[in-house]
Structure 1
Amino acid sequence: MKNPILIVLLILVCLKAAIAQNSLTETEKLAATAKVWGFLKYYHPTVAAGKYNWDEELFRVLPKVKEVSTREELSRVYMDWLDGLGKVKECKGCSQNSNHDYFDNNFDLSWLDDGKVFTAGLSERLRFIERNRHQGKKFYVSSANIARNVIVTNETTYVGSDWSDASLRLLSLFRYWNIVEYFFPYKYQADTDWDVVLDRMIPEFLYAKNESDYHLAMLGLIVSVNDSHAGFSTDRTRAHFGFYWIPANFNLIDGKAVITGFYDEALAKKDDLRIGDAITKVNGREIGTIFRENEKYINGSNIPKKKSNAYYSIFNGPSDSVRVEYTRGGVTSSKTIKRYLASELKPGKQESEIFKILDGNIGYVNMGVLETKDVAEAMGALNNTKAIIFDIRNYPKQTLYAVADYISSKSNDFYRVTYPDLDYPGRFIWKSGRQSGQSGELRYRGKVVLLVNERTQSHAEFTAMCLQTGDNVTTIGSQTSGADGNVSTIEMVGGYKTVISGIGIFYPDSTETQRKGVRIDIEASPTIQGIIDGRDEVLEKAIEFVNSK
Structure 2
Amino acid sequence: MKKITLLLLLVLTQIVFAQTKLTENQKLAATCKVWGYLKYYHPQVASGKTDWDNQLFDVLPKVEKANTKDEFSLVLENWINSLGEVKAIAAITVPKDVEYFDKNFDLSWLNNDKLFATTLSKKLKFIEDNRFQGEQHYVGFDSRDNSFVKNTNFDKLDYSDRNSRILALFTYWNVIEYFFPYKYRMDQKWDKTLEEMLPVFIEAKNDDAFYTAFQKLTVKLNDSHAVFHKYSTGNANFLPFNCKIIDEKMVVTEITADELAKADDIKVGDVITKFNDKTIKDFVAENRNLINGSNEAAYLSNLMKFGVYGYSDNVKLDFLKDGKTITKTINWYDYNNAHKNEFKKGIQKEKFKMLENNIGYVDMGALKINDVPEMIEKLKSAKAIVFDIRNYPNGTYIDIANFLNSKERNFIMFTRPDSLYPGKFIWHGPRPCGSENKNNYKGKVVVLVNEESVSHSEETAMCFQAADNCTIIGSQTAGADGNVSNFEAIKAVFTRFSGIGVYYPDGRETQRIGIVPDIEVKPTILGIQQGKDEVLDRALQFIESGKETKLKTTLNIKNETFLK
Please give the TM-score of this superposition, normalised by the length of structure 2.
0.92
Q: 1:462 aligns with which of 454, 459, 462?
A: 459
Is the contact made by 2:404 and 2:467 (CA closer than 8 Å) also made in structure 1?
yes
1:363 maps to which residue? 360
2:415 maps to which residue? 418
2:112 maps to which residue? 114
- Measure the CA separation in 2 of the matches of 1:431 and 1:280: 48
Q: What does 1:138-287 correspond to in 2, within 5 Å?
A: 138-153=136-151, 155=152, 157-236=153-232, 243-287=236-280
Counterpart residue type for residue 204 of structure 1: V
- Measure the CA separation in 2 of the matches of 1:497 and 1:445: 46
- Measure the CA separation in 1 of the matches of 2:129 and 2:65: 31
- Measure the CA separation in 2 of the matches of 1:283 and 1:436: 49
Q: Secondary structure of 1:127's match?
A: helix
2:542 maps to which residue? 545
1:332 maps to which residue? 325
1:92 maps to which residue? 90
Provide structure 1 residue ranges, at least 5 long, that are not aligned to the other structure: none
- Measure the CA separation in 1 of the matches of 2:438 and 2:322: 54
Q: Aligned-pair distance for 1:7? A: 5.5
Q: Aligned-pair distance for 1:145? A: 2.1
| Cα separation, partners in 2 of 1:98 and 1:17, compared to 1, 3 Å | farther
Counterpart residue type for residue 134 of structure 2: G
Is the contact made by 2:241 and 2:338 (CA closer than 8 Å) also made in structure 1?
no
2:78 maps to which residue? 80
Q: Aligned-pair distance for 1:483? A: 1.1
Is the contact made by 2:150 and 2:489 (CA closer than 8 Å) also made in structure 1?
no
- Measure the CA separation in 1 of the matches of 2:263 and 2:16: 71
| Cα separation, partners in 2 of 1:503 and 1:117, compared to 1, 3 Å | same
Q: Aligned-pair distance for 1:8? A: 4.6
Is the contact made by 2:155 and 2:489 (CA closer than 8 Å) also made in structure 1?
no
- Measure the CA separation in 1 of the matches of 2:308 and 2:444: 42
- Measure the CA separation in 2 of the matches of 1:399 and 1:336: 44
- Measure the CA separation in 1 of the matches of 2:519 and 2:89: 54
Q: 2:524 aligns with which of 527, 531, 537?
A: 527
2:124 maps to which residue? 126
Q: 1:35 aligns with which of 27, 33, 37?
A: 33
| Cα separation, partners in 2 of 1:469 and 1:99, compared to 1, 3 Å | closer
Is the contact made by 2:253 and 2:268 (CA closer than 8 Å) also made in structure 1?
yes
1:65-123, Cα deviation, whole Å (9 max, x unpaired): 01111111110000101111122111215233586311100000011111111111111
Q: 1:481 aligns with which of 462, 469, 478?
A: 478
Is the contact made by 2:231 and 2:493 (CA closer than 8 Å) also made in structure 1?
no
Q: Secondary structure of 2:287's match?
A: helix
- Measure the CA separation in 2 of the matches of 1:411 and 1:421: 29
- Measure the CA separation in 2 of the matches of 1:354 and 1:109: 51
1:308 maps to which residue? 301
Q: 2:341 aligns with which of 335, 340, 348?
A: 348
- Greater alpha carbon shift after TM alignment, 138-147 vs 285-294: 138-147
Q: Aligned-pair distance for 1:288? A: 1.3
Q: Secondary structure of 1:499's match?
A: strand
Please give the TM-score of this superposition, normalised by the length of structure 1.
0.95
Q: Secondary structure of 1:433's match?
A: strand
2:69 maps to which residue? 71
1:112-138, Cα deviation, whole Å (9 max, x unpaired): 111111111111110111111010211
Q: Aligned-pair distance for 1:386? A: 0.9
1:444 maps to which residue? 441
1:490-530, Cα deviation, whole Å (9 max, x unpaired): 12432522211111110011111111111311101111111
- Greater alpha carbon shift after TM alignment, 176-185 vs 488-497: 488-497
- Greater alpha carbon shift after TM alignment, 386-395 vs 88-97: 88-97
2:289 maps to which residue? 296
Over aligned residue pairs, what C-alpha RMSD do you find?
1.8
Is the contact made by 2:162 and 2:202 (CA closer than 8 Å) also made in structure 1?
yes
Q: What does 1:21-60 correspond to in 2, within 5 Å?
A: 21-60=19-58
1:221-261, Cα deviation, whole Å (9 max, x unpaired): 1111111111111145x97xx93332221001111111111
- Measure the CA separation in 1 of the matches of 2:413 and 2:505: 5
| Cα separation, partners in 2 of 1:193 and 1:271, compared to 1, 3 Å | same
Is the contact made by 1:302 and 1:481 (CA closer than 8 Å) also made in structure 2?
yes
Q: Aligned-pair distance for 1:38? A: 0.2
- Measure the CA separation in 1 of the matches of 2:501 and 2:317: 43
Is the contact made by 1:414 and 1:508 (CA closer than 8 Å) also made in structure 2?
yes
Is the contact made by 1:407 and 1:442 (CA closer than 8 Å) also made in structure 2?
no
Provide structure 2 residue ranges, at least 5 long, that are not aligned to the other structure: 547-564
Q: Aligned-pair distance for 1:440? A: 2.8
Is the contact made by 2:239 and 2:338 (CA closer than 8 Å) also made in structure 1?
no
Is the contact made by 1:291 and 1:313 (CA closer than 8 Å) also made in structure 2?
no
Q: 1:377 aligns with which of 371, 374, 377?
A: 374
| Cα separation, partners in 2 of 1:329 and 1:444, compared to 1, 3 Å | farther
Counterpart residue type for residue 252 of structure 1: I
- Greater alpha carbon shift after TM alignment, 426-435 vs 31-40: 426-435
Q: Secondary structure of 1:310's match?
A: helix
Counterpart residue type for residue 467 of structure 2: G
- Measure the CA separation in 2 of the matches of 1:393 and 1:472: 20
- Measure the CA separation in 1 of the matches of 2:510 and 2:531: 31
Counterpart residue type for residue 295 of structure 1: R
- Greater alpha carbon shift after TM alignment, 426-435 vs 191-200: 426-435
2:551 maps to which residue? none
Is the contact made by 1:361 and 1:385 (CA closer than 8 Å) also made in structure 2?
yes
Q: Aligned-pair distance for 1:375? A: 1.1
Is the contact made by 1:366 and 1:391 (CA closer than 8 Å) also made in structure 2?
yes
Is the contact made by 1:228 and 1:300 (CA closer than 8 Å) also made in structure 2?
yes
- Measure the CA separation in 2 of the matches of 1:335 and 1:143: 51
Q: Secondary structure of 1:258's match?
A: strand
- Measure the CA separation in 2 of the matches of 1:143 and 1:285: 45
- Measure the CA separation in 2 of the matches of 1:451 and 1:263: 23
- Measure the CA separation in 2 of the matches of 1:313 and 1:291: 12
Q: What does 1:382-397 correspond to in 2, within 5 Å?
A: 382-397=379-394
- Greater alpha carbon shift after TM alignment, 259-268 vs 198-207: 259-268
| Cα separation, partners in 2 of 1:160 and 1:312, compared to 1, 3 Å | farther
Counterpart residue type for residue 61 of structure 1: V
- Measure the CA separation in 2 of the matches of 1:276 and 1:60: 59
